Structure 1
């Protein structure tokens, strides 16, 4: 159903099952899959591809040009998967030709009111961005991470899977998977393992216990990072989670928050 007051520009591709509310604007390069609902006065523009069964609430802005002064109108994309919820006043932008040429969003994510996803970001699955959480350009957020309200993530930072960022935290370094981090700028540091989140996601008690040991070595041993990783390899069972933690840290480009 498309409300008669909606503006659908020629060239847009909408599945027959899409619901478009009053006052919505849909640009000419937009594609929207079946079951997606777009609330009143939302704007979907640019080269934007949206999958199935998404909910886009009123006054959200999806696919507007990047807030990057280098952008000159090139064809760059915002690609959104299935079953995402994009709440009021949330903003999601496409990529840039000086970046990855696209911003990508996986499945089952929640973008609360006023959250912001900048150009060339990559969001996994099951991510929650609370009210006012903000990603600068080129940020990567892995599966099931939770970003608290009003937190801000610096350009090129990576947030690991199942990590939790406390409200108001200002993050400028990579956050290891499975951890909790809080603080403001120079005071940002790890505060523990995200044990509650891991339990809710079905991690076994044994795996959580092993990750606790890895966390203690990483964050509390006062070892140099390379030495801490060597100790984790030598002393702990090399579960998939431990291997992922070590690999994430080894691949970090901005340094690891500890």
Structure 2
């Protein structure tokens, strides 16, 4: 439970109450109310005002709980309860301060309040019932607002997880495509039995035109103008050469 977030939720509640009360007052002033009303009509007006007040309080505390739940992100119900506790504590403090100030200045004796055609017992019982209804209504509204504010973050987190999963799937698909491309490009090469690769980079280049290649002994004939020594007994006499006769 974060009381800082709950405090700002309570401030939001007070602001919404002021705005809605001003709006309802403007509407009532525009419509107009007959001041000559009977006791029966007065009861009907009181019921209507009580219902309007409950609706205003419900909307205001729901909004305050929603703000607290959004700010705290977790434990929305507890944040709504904290907003309600802020309201109760501040209301009690203001009541005590007002009571002390009224006793010291004796304001009640100086103010002539109009007589209400309702007995004090009925007024006390009705006030207690109305107070209980207001407390329960505001508590439920604040908790529901806090829960709604928390669910907002749940939807945002879920959307973020879905995006992360989609990006991960896209990266895996791209990796598989790259591996498949490498396999297809490598299938065109074959390996030599001795381990040499007959790829494009392993081909033997032919000698250039101006490059002299050494001759291997016994593999190529004599070049033009080169005298090759005769081997004894392997070739015939040259022209003009006398061959000795053998005896017998």
Query: Which structure shows the higher helix fraction?
Result: 2
Same fold flag (TM > 0.5):
no
Structure with larger RCO (C-alpha < 8 A, sep 6+):
2
TM-score by length of 2: 0.17
Query: Which structure shows the higher strand fraction?
Result: 1
TM-score by length of 1: 0.17
**The structure with more radius of gyration:** 2
